[in-house]
């Protein structure tokens, strides 16, 4: 577990849910939170660093990463900066989609 993802008590209160197919690759998330986001793929779309990737027909359709409360604000800022609203932050306990 990397330092960016770990919580002091090991509890993750939120998770990032990235709707990758609808990403336009603008790079706003990378500019805001480069420790969590990167554009490395040949298709120019952003990826969540260290995420669990879900695939359909060989294409990544969703990326999920548990995050600690201490990483919430930075990732909410990344989600807020996304012009196509494909980055969501979800409260793990309530299942409420915060953004």
**Pairing of the two strands 59-67 and 14-18:** antiparallel
User: Which residues are within 8 A (CB) of 72 and not within 5 positions of it... i.e. 6 or more apart?
Assistant: 13, 14, 89
Domain containing residue 70: CATH number: 3.30.70.20
Supply the range of the domain harboring residue 26. 14-91
Total domains in the fold of the chain: 1
Cβ 39 vs Cβ 45: under 8 Å: yes
Chain segment 45-98, per-residue pLDDT in tens: 999 999 999 999 999 999 999 999 999 999 999 999 999 999 999 999 999 999
37 and 29 in contact (C-beta within 8 Å)?
yes
pTM, to two decimals: 0.86
């Amino acid at each position: 577990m990397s330092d960016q993802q770990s919580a002091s008590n090991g509890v993750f209160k939120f998770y990032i849910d990235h709707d990758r197919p609808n990403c336009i690759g603008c790079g706003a998330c990378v500019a805001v939170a480069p420790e969590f986001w990167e554009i490395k793929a040949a298709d120019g779309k952003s990826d969540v660093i260290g995420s669990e990737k879900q695939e359909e027909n060989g294409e990544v359709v969703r990326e999920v990463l548990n995050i600690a409360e201490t990483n919430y604000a930075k990732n909410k800022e990344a989600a807020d900066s996304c012009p196509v609203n494909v980055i969501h932050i979800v409260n793990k306990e309530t299942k409420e989609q915060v953004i």
